[in-house]
Amino acid sequence: MPDIIFKNTIVQIANYNFTTFALAVFLTSWMILAIGIITLIREKTSRESISFFLVTLTVFLWLSSNSFIYVSPNEETALRWDKLAYLGTSFIPAALFQFTIFALRTYPSQQRTAWTAWILSSFFSICAFTCDNFILGAKLYPWGYFTYTGWIGIPFLVFFLSMLLASLLQYYKKSQEELSPITKLRTRLFFRAIFVGSLAIIEFLPTFGVPIPPLGFIPILCFVFLGAPVIWRYHLVDVTPALAAQEVINNMSDALLVFDQEGIVQLVNPAFSRLLGKKEKEIKGLPVKLLLPNLFPPAAEKPLQERPIVNHSFTLHLESGKELFLEVSLSPIQKAGEILAWIVLIRDVTEVKKAEVRYRTIFENTGSATILVEEDMTISLVNREFEKIVGLPKEKIEGKKKFTQFFAPPDIDQMIEYHQRRRIVPEAVPKKYTTHLIDQKGNVREVLASVDLIPHTKQSIASLVDVTDLRRAEKQIALQLDMLSRLYRGAQELSETLDLEELARLTVRYATQDLGAKLAFFLVPKDNKEWEVLSAFPAPYPSSLQRWLSSPEKDRLLADLVQNGSSLVVGLTEETKYPQLAEIADNLAVKEARLFLLGKPLSPLGALIWLIDKPELLSSRSGFIQTFIQQVVTSGEKAQLFSRLQRQIDRMRSLHAIDRAIASSLDLQVVLNLVLQEAVRHLEIDAACVYLLDSASYLHYRAGLGFLLPETSAYQFRLGEGALGKAMLEKKPLFIFQIKQEDLTALPPFIEKEGFLSLFAVPLMAKNKTRGLLVAFHRLPLHPSPRRLEFLTTLAGQLAIAIDNITMFEELTRSHLKLSLAYDTTIEGWARALELRDQETEGHTRRTTELTLKLAQALGVNSEDLIHIRRGALLHDIGKMGIPDQILLKPGPLSKEEWKIMKKHPTYAWELLSPVEYLRPALDIPYCHHERWDGKGYPRGLKGEEIPLAARLFAVVDVWDALISDRPYRPAWPKEKAREYIKEQAGHHFDPQVVEKFLELLEHLEEE
């Protein structure tokens, strides 16, 4: 049927009556298609750009087909083109409505209507091709043919108008609701362009008998000139998926919002909604200045235009009365040098500010007069003790006084020298020295000044103590200064690490070296609710402690810590409910154990155990310890979040690698091995294997990893047999966290021998078919998190798809081989049938085929082309089926008229074989083997290399075999005479190069 349509009616271009009117319609169709392609490329293949391309494609199919209707040579051809036109016309309303709901972001509520539109479009398209009551006929008008429709065209027209009006109505409503002027303008321009384009509905008037020219292409041309500038200038949507990855935004820990050039919020992430305590729909569309009044720094307009990124901090007062300290970064979204919108990243630093308050509290309560001195000797910070000693309030000192203004003149020069040299050669300047301070009343006090640089800054911190309290002050100042410095350095190191193990190592080292613990342990909870030691200092620690850390008493102690809350103090010098720990403490000369819970009691990230030999020392440092613990918690939560993100990214990479392996490899074993490797690595299990279901309902071991015994691979079971077979039959996952608590008779026998204590099995389901079972094993009790189980299920789903695809491919390959064998057998049967008809050429086909293949191989023809040459040689005389017997079997010479008929057999071969797509590559020999190198051959008179190579090869072999074979009208020639004839015809009848290679081949064959 398609061949009849195209060959007999459509592709007879020479019979068409081309007109300027049809050319205009044809060019308009290509213009609209070009806009769709350019938009698809420019908008990064987004959902909106794809749907817009579908609109342009359907319009292109409609207009281009109509242009051929107008110039058709007859009514039949016009009707054929009109049926093709409905491949586009029927789908225009559905495609336009789909693009509308995507571009206007109304698809959640309108998607069902869109699907209904696609179904109706498909129905009308099928009707156009199959129903005789849809397109009744075609009428010739002055502009050309145009079809007219029956009663089914009326429902289609109603459907077309309804979807068109629905799309326009959505554009109109959206243009009224939009708050952003730019978005409102773009929506109105789109409405105008599509409204003008919709006037192309006048194209339906001639189909109902109205005798007016079909001018529907003119509104479409107007749409091109109206819509293309809008798309180029304003894009399809505000923020396309090419500019913002929604999944990444939704999972960001920092708050994010996007506002346009008018300051209207267009996009927010869940973190921002949580920050404000509002829902997303309550935020979008509001002015950003209303939500964040202090977002822009002073004189913001100029920085926003001149600088690509603006960073600053501000305070936000929530409606609940809560005060937040925020750090903000503003950066533009640009396209071709034009700013489309602004991205705002917001980080809540309230806890950091609170930490600063805690440090300020420590600074204020050091017990000595303490000041912070800048590089230019200005005092930037003082505590209450300094206010008391000088007799001035801090408001008159901080930022206004230099430290030299409070000391006696004889000491000032030395202090200035120390201040300057401290920044060049710190070790050459004494940190402690005696000087004389003058208060507001003029009194001179001899004080001991302790001055040091704050690490990684240009600031100095100075503590001043009366000389009368020198002994006490020296110890106190040294302790406070050292602790502040250590705490500062420790806070920096802790805040910079994102590795929980490194954080644990730093924590226990600081606890023993800086805060006074004798031994420190950092423990983390495992999936099975047990605690394990992540780091200890000093290490190695005594074996008695190692045994205790694995004992139930340790678990009871940590349980008491969780129940108690943030911390727990256990005295070990008196009777206690932890006798094992008390015994160990006695041997180690430890008097007390202090425990700190890191994080919330319900989901702590870890716990600290300190064994202390000098409890009074830690009591004097309680403020520092609490600050330190809070810093550890903050850094630990950050490291934990980073670790989770890294694991998730790693799992996504693994899934992507598996997807690529599935897409690029048809080797099932490679895919199975990759999936098992990723399962063992990410799930942190000991072993995994895959069982595949055969046609006899048996599940056989196909691949495995991590097993110790060889008999594991020999195990097989039936569907429904045992726990695994039942899980397979019921198509449900099987999770056994404690194998010892299950009936071992229902499980594979190798489980006990391998020592497995946990088992997880997931059926491999694809297209509602059960392909096999993915089973994971572990040699310890395992309670995996929901994310691990979800990952296992995802792996099973990917593996099932891979197995299904590879199985289908193997079945398709086998079917293809069977079909090819059947074709070749049929061809050989045709060749034998031809020889039975023309008995004088018996064996000729087989001999010429074999010799032609040898000649082709000698000339380096590839194996794929050899297949087509073999088929062409077998069928080289297939056209003689159209030659009458009285001519084909005539014993004597043929007359001139009979030769004309005989020379038609290559043309008959073409007409017979060309409709068979499978045999088209083999047509060169049947169609062209009677062409001559000098152009005097038939049927087309091809010359030289215009003749296909296969035909040039076969022509030499065909003549050679004919010459050396007996014929009724002459005996066979001697081979030498035939060889001389072939050589003489080189450059006349045959390709010279082929002749040369053929003669070499004959010599080689004779030698063999």
State phi, psi for 967 to the nearest 5 degrees.
Answer: -130, 155
Tell me the H-state helices in 538-621: 543-548, 552-564, 579-588, 615-619
Of 533, 537, 498, whose CA–CA distance to 514 is shortest? 537
Of 769, 768, 765, whose CA–CA distance to 796 is shortest? 765
Least confident stretch, 389-393, 454-458, 477-481: 477-481
Least confident stretch, 134-138, 238-242, 736-740, 933-937: 238-242
**Residue pLDDT, tens place only, 660-682:** 656 556 677 787 888 888 878 87
**Residue pLDDT, tens place only, 760-809:** 888 988 777 878 888 888 888 777 777 777 777 877 777 777 777 777 76
For residue 957, pLDDT beyond 80: yes
According to the model, what pLDDT value does residue 279 have? 85
According to the model, what pLDDT value does residue 573 have? 78
For residue 240, pLDDT beyond 50: no
Neighbour tally for 573: CB within 10 Å: 12
> Contact, 776 vs 760, CB < 8 A?
yes
> Contact, 99 vs 51, CB < 8 A?
yes
Question: Can you tell me which residue has the tokens 């027209």?
Answer: 157
Three-state DSSP class for residue 355:
helix
Q: What is this structure's pTM? A: 0.34
Question: Can you tell me which residue has the tokens 């429904």?
Answer: 720
According to the model, what pLDDT value does residue 890 have? 74
Quickly count helices (H) and strands (E) in the chain: 37, 23
Q: For residues 435 and 446, what is the distance between their CA atoms, to the nearest angstrom?
A: 6
Which one is predicted more confidently, 229 or 838?
A: 229
Per-residue burial over 515-542, b = 16 or more CB atoms within 10 Å of its CB, e = otherwise: bbbbbbbbbbbeeeeebebbbbbeeebe
Summarize the confidence of residues 151-162 as an average pLDDT: 80
Type and span of the H or E element at 446: strand 444-453
